[in-house]
Chains A and B, each alone.
Chain A
C-alpha cells in the first residue's frame, strides 16, 4: 500500500520568508481601445517592476479581441484574475501591486486580530485547579 501524502506544516515567515506570488501574466489586445492604458504600462513600467521582483515570472501575451487582463499565479496553485479594461497605467500599477502582495487565498473577513494554532500558554481553566471561591 503506498504511503499517504504528508503535508508539511508551513509557517511562512518564521525561519525564512518566501513570497507567494510566482507568476504574473499580462494579456492585452493590439487593436481595442480598452487596452490602451495596459499597452502604455507594458512599455513604461513593467520592466522596472520585473527587475525589482526577480522572484516573479512575468509573461506578456497578446490576447486579441478581449479586454486586458492580469492573471497572478501563487505557490498554493490558485490564481487571481483582474480585468484592467480602460484603466490608466497608475491604476494598473496598483492592481499589479495588489496581486504581488497577495498569497493566493480567498478573500475573507478577518474576525479576530490574531490567528494562532499554538495551544494556550496558561492552559484552559479547570475548577479543580483554580483557587476556590469564598462567600
Chain B
C-alpha cells in the first residue's frame, strides 16, 4: 500500500544523495594501539580504492558529520549510545550518585555515513565519552515460573533487580 511509503519518503527526502554511495563504502577498521596511521581495509562492494586511507583521514571524515553514536562495552556487554541517553546497568557497587564515568572500551564509533570499528577497541585518543550516575533504583519484581506437567513439579522464583542508571553526558569525536 502506498500509505507506508509516503511516510518513509517524507523522512528520506531530508537525506542527501551521498547516502546512496556512501552507505556502500561504510565501514573502516582501526586498531586499538594505533598512535600512528595504520593500513586499513574498506568493506566496499562497489568501489576498490587504489590507496587505503589512514586513520587520521578517517577521523576527519567522521568529524565532518553531524551526529554520532558509539557502541560502548560496559561489563562485557555492548550498549549502542548517543548523547543524552540513559544506560540501564546492573547495580555498580563502587559508584555514587553524581559520579562521572569515562567510557574507554568503545567497539564502534560511527555517524550516518561512516563508522570506525575497533579491533578490539577504538583508540581512546579519538573520542571523549562520559556518563553520569543519575539514579540507583530497584526494579519491579520479576517472577520466573517453572513447571513440569504431570510430575508434581513447579517453582516460583522472585527477583527484584537492582540497577544503576547512567546518563551519557558527553559523546565527542576528537581530531
Establish whether residues B142 and A109, one from each chain, have CB atoms under 8 Å apart when the complex forms: yes
Given contacts A19-B98, A121-B68, A122-B112, contact A129 B167 (CB under 8 A): no
A56 to chain B, nearest CB (A): 11
Establish whether residues B135 and A101, one from each chain, have CB atoms under 8 Å apart when the complex forms: yes
Establish whether residues A113 and B20, one from each chain, have CB atoms under 8 Å apart when the complex forms: no
Establish whether residues A118 and B83, one from each chain, have CB atoms under 8 Å apart when the complex forms: yes
Chain B positions 113-152 with a Cβ under 8 Å from a chain A Cβ: 131-140, 142
Establish whether residues A118 and B137, one from each chain, have CB atoms under 8 Å apart when the complex forms: no
Establish whether residues B12 and A129, one from each chain, have CB atoms under 8 Å apart when the complex forms: yes
Which residues does chain A contribute within 8 Å of B112, judged by CB atoms? 121-123
Complex Cα spacing A126 to B87, Å: 28
Which residues does chain A contribute within 8 Å of B8, judged by CB atoms? 124, 126, 128
Establish whether residues A103 and B137, one from each chain, have CB atoms under 8 Å apart when the complex forms: yes
CB contact between B87 and one of A113, A129, A131 (< 8 Å): that residue: A113
Which residues does chain B contribute within 8 Å of A123, judged by CB atoms? 11-12, 15, 19, 112
Complex Cα spacing A98 to B23, Å: 47
Q: How large is the interface on A (under 10, 10 to 19, 20 to 34, 35 or more residues)?
A: 35 or more
Given contacts A101-B97, A114-B81, contact A13 B137 (CB under 8 A): no
Establish whether residues B138 and A110, one from each chain, have CB atoms under 8 Å apart when the complex forms: no
B85 to chain A, nearest CB (A): 4
Instruction: Give 13 A-B contacts (CB < 8 Å), ordered by A residue.
Output: A14-B83, A100-B97, A107-B138, A114-B80, A114-B85, A114-B87, A114-B88, A118-B82, A126-B11, A128-B9, A129-B15, A131-B20, A131-B24
Establish whether residues B23 and A131, one from each chain, have CB atoms under 8 Å apart when the complex forms: yes
Which residues does chain A contribute within 8 Å of B54, judged by CB atoms? none
- 0 or 1 for each of B102-120: is its CB under 8 Å from A? (1 = yes): 0000000011100000000
Complex Cα spacing A79 to B119, Å: 47
CB contact between B135 and one of A103, A108, A116, A124 (< 8 Å): that residue: A103
Which residues does chain B contribute within 8 Å of A86, judged by CB atoms? none
Mostly helix, strand, loop or mixed at chain B's interface?
A: mixed
Q: Is B163 an interface residue (CB 8 A)?
A: yes
A97 to chain B, nearest CB (A): 9
Establish whether residues A13 and B15, one from each chain, have CB atoms under 8 Å apart when the complex forms: no
Q: Considering only CB atoms, which chain B residue lies closest to A12 in the complex?
A: B134
* Chain B CB within 10 Å, residue with most, of A12, A13, A117, A118: A13
Establish whether residues B136 and A101, one from each chain, have CB atoms under 8 Å apart when the complex forms: yes
Which residues does chain A contribute within 8 Å of B133, judged by CB atoms? 13
Q: Is B32 an interface residue (CB 8 A)?
A: no
Q: Is A115 an interface residue (CB 8 A)?
A: yes
Establish whether residues B84 and A118, one from each chain, have CB atoms under 8 Å apart when the complex forms: yes
**With contacts A115-B88, A123-B112 known, what are 15 further pairs, Cβ within 8 A?**
A11-B84, A14-B132, A101-B135, A107-B138, A108-B139, A113-B77, A114-B81, A114-B87, A115-B86, A118-B82, A121-B69, A123-B11, A128-B12, A129-B15, A129-B23
Establish whether residues B138 and A113, one from each chain, have CB atoms under 8 Å apart when the complex forms: no
List the 10 closest A-B pairs by CB distance, nearest first.
A13-B167, A13-B132, A101-B136, A115-B86, A121-B69, A116-B85, A13-B134, A110-B88, A126-B12, A103-B135
